[in-house]
Structures are given as C-alpha cells and as structure tokens.
Amino acid sequence: MNRISTRIGLAKLAAAPFALAAVALMLSTSTARADDFTFSFSNTVGDVSGTVTGEIIGLTNNSTSSATEVLITSYPAGLDSIFSNPVNASLWDQQYQNSFTEVGGELTGGSFWAQDTVAGDSVGAQLYLNVDLPDGYSGNTNFLNVDGLDDFYVWNNNGLDGVTFAPASSVTPEPSSLILLATGLAGAIGACRRRLA
C-alpha cells in the first residue's frame, strides 16, 4: 500500500510542471494589464510660469486606448484653482479627445482635451495634452486653466515634445514576468522529482 501511495504521489508531482505551464499560458493570454503614467508640462507662452503635473490612469500596453481617468495633481499657485487637488479632468462636462498609444510600457503618442463649464463659462476650466487647435495656433497645444474664468493659464505649443511622460509606480507586473516565475517553479519541481526518482 505504501508503494502505491508513493507512485501516486510521484505521478502528481510529475504533473505539477504541466499544471504550472497551463497557468502560465492562461496568464499570457489573459486581458492586458492597465498601466498608469505621470505627465508634466511647463509654461512657455502662457501668463503663469511653472509646471503642471498629473497622472493618466488605466491605459493598455501595446495598444491605443482611452484613459479611465486623467488627474491634475499640481500646478503653479498663480492659477488659483477653484477645484481641490487632485482635479479629475475626465469628470468635466465636455470631453473631446482621449486617446493614448502605449508600446512596450512607454507612452508614444496621444492627446487629451477636456473642458468644464464653471459659472456659465463653457471654458471655465480646460486641459489640453497635445491638442491640435485651429485658428492659426502653431504646433499642438498643452494648456491648463482651472480658475473658472479662463484668465490665467500654463501653456506651451510643443506637442508631445512639450510633455514629459513616465510610468507611474503602480504599473503592474507584465504577464511575461509571471510566465518567467512559473517556469522557474516548474524547473524547481522537476529537479525535486528527479531526486525522488
């Protein structure tokens, strides 16, 4: 009876690498992870000097997708925002552009344009990231106004070159990293099985 139990135990142990490989395959073909990025841009032509920072949340790697949220986390004091930080521009009442391209964990393209009506002013707040505006504006615009009056703003016309993007610390492990872990575990179990045999 002892011998039969040992053989069944060894058979189960021999099947373990195949089970791990199946799990790894499922992880590699599962839905892509959501990534977050920070952004910043500085004033060159607006009337308030300084830098705007924020976060783009919920993008999909190796695809073009919409952010689930675009947060403004800091801006120069001269903007005198009527909002409390962080400002969620994806909740503003006018959403025009929201498309970002992520390749290999890096943000390679995209644009975001949202405005909010404040006290009857349809442009009481505006955030542009790489927005191509008409009427003779040069380049693609990066712009923030959050005072409710469109009186003060940080602005540059340098398109994507005028914005710095970086992966946020909350980016989750890639499926390929999980596959590597599963492969290592399978190898360790295989070595133990050979010793028992």
With helix as H, strand as E and coil as C, how does the chain read? CHHHHHHHHHHHHHHHHHHHHHHHHHHHCCCCCEEEEEEEEECCCCCCCCEEEEEEEEEECCEEECCCEEEEEECCHHHCCCCCCCEEHHHCCEEEEEEEEEECCEEEEEEEEEEEEECCEEEEEEEEEEECCCCCCCCCEEEEECCCCCCCCEEECCHHHHEEEEECCCCCCCHHHHHHHHHHHHHHHHHHHHHHC
Q: What is the pLDDT of residue 96?
A: 96
Q: What is the pLDDT of residue 17?
A: 53
Q: How does pLDDT run across 155-185, given as a tens digit for each residue?
A: 999 999 999 999 997 544 555 555 655 666 6
Q: What is the pLDDT of residue 30?
A: 46
Q: What is the pLDDT of residue 171?
A: 45
pLDDT surpasses 70 at 80: yes
Q: What is the pLDDT of residue 52?
A: 97
pLDDT surpasses 50 at 24: no
